[in-house]
Amino acid sequence: MPADLKAMYEGILASCGGADNIVTLGCCMTRLRFTVKDEALVSPDALRKVRDVAGYFYSGSQHQLIVGPSTAGKLAAYFHEHHHFLPLSAAGTEEVFAPAAVPVSQESAPAVGEVKATKTAVRQKYSSRVSRACAVIGNIFLPLIPAYIGCGLLLGITNILSKTLLASDPNTVALLSVFGNGIFFYLNAIVGYNANKEFGGTPALGVAFAGILNMPALANVTLFGAALMPGKGGVIAVLLVCWAGSWLEKRLRAWIKGSAEMFVTPTLTILLVGLASLVLIQPLAGWLSDQLALQTQNALKHGGLLAGAVLGGTFLPLVMMGIHQSLVPIHQQLVNALGANPLFPILCMAGAGQVGASLAVLFKTRNAKLKTIVKNALPVGLLGIGEPLIYGVTLPLFKPFIGACLGAAVGGAVVAAFHVTSAIPFGVSGVVLFLALSNLHSVLFYALGFVTSVICGFAFTWKMGFDDPAENE
């Protein structure tokens, strides 16, 4: 049954102090995310009880509601149809919670001071530099996920068809490959646009920085006796250059006055950052990218079972904290450097372990509501979207969450031992990833790892048990 958007909308507003208390609002694949003016007006318990909300948590200054794929986008659109909230990227954590916005001397009631103290405590507790940095990376790459999914699936399907039904039709294969590579051809420019916007610079200058780094004509230019290499450093170079460029642009705008500013600032920014990017930033990013690929290969080659177990077993906590999107640049860089991603299939075992643990809960619990939650969340869990199961099932019960992590560790060890690789950086996971694996060998042993994770996640959870909630909980 589709979610009742109107009921969810009304329940959420009633639980967070009304529309006037919301500052920014947006969504990712499975979560409605928003920030507020006054934290004291938000009731987490009430948010958890809103109809069709599978879970709630607070991370990096954002209140996040797990509502599931498709529903998240529709619910965010429903809110924006009725109100004019800022998008999440329009106001950073510091801006939303800026204490200086209302001078202390102008506060007319003690309640305001109490609210500000609450907000300060919340900020100190949750808004660490790490969580803010991960939120920034997420805001840069999250908008790309639909394109990654669509293009990734097309590439995987094309890979299968090129060896079967279309083996004698290279023209059609080439055409489908063009469709599948659409996002990747302009990826650095899109990342540059989003990154500069997120770092507080002019988005179009981010496109210019990415263009400078990837210009084919660079191959005809030498600096200090060495030829330049277009695209060196990949998205890591783009992120570093955009960070430096936005920093310089903001300072130039503060220093340069008058009408000349609109001409001088972008010109000087492109010139100075362009030179710095080619002389310093791109070589550094290239070295970092090479080291990333080398160390990943060494860890999986020499660490084998242990490396896979650690990576697979620790990924669910990253998802739980909402910082797993910070790995996206690493996934992309591995594909750029190695031609395939050996890390992503290992991490996908986390979703399989979660499915196994949730199946154990389904068969063991006597709570009818919990059974319904598991049944509704399992299909999307099999597709690699794990948040509904995490926040609606395993994490609240805790022991099943540990069982899921242990199951993922066993499956991760299997996938790492047999060197399974994905042809795309990320985007599709779960059973859908079968379509985007590099070869038949990877398909077979990904299946083995997936089934192993499910079985072990089930077994660990069944053995450890859990405190079955009462019927009214």
Neighbours of 441 (CB within 10 A): 13
Q: In whole angstroms, give the CA distance from residue 38 to residue 247.
A: 30
Is 27 one of the catalytic residues? no
Q: In whole angstroms, give the CA distance from residue 273 to residue 210.
A: 11
What is the secondary structure of 384-397 as a DSSP string?
Answer: T--HHHIIIIIHHH
Angle 32-37-41 from CA coordinates, rounded to 5°: 80
Q: Which residues is 36 bridged to in the sheet?
A: 22
DSSP one-letter code for 85: P
Structure tokens, 57: 């948590």
DSSP-derived 3-state class of residue 63: strand
DSSP-derived 3-state class of residue 18: coil
Q: In whole angstroms, give the CA distance from residue 308 to residue 168.
A: 39
**289, 234 contact by CB (below 8 A):** yes
Q: In whole angstroms, give the CA distance from residue 424 to residue 454.
A: 23
* Active-site residue, selected from the candidate residues 27, 28, 151, 456: 28
One-letter amino acid at 138 equals G
- Tell me which H or E stretch contains 206: helix 203-214
In terms of residues, how long is the chain?
Answer: 473
Structure tokens, 341: 């991603």
Q: Is 211 left (phi over 0), alpha (psi -120 to 50) or beta?
A: alpha
Active site residues: 28
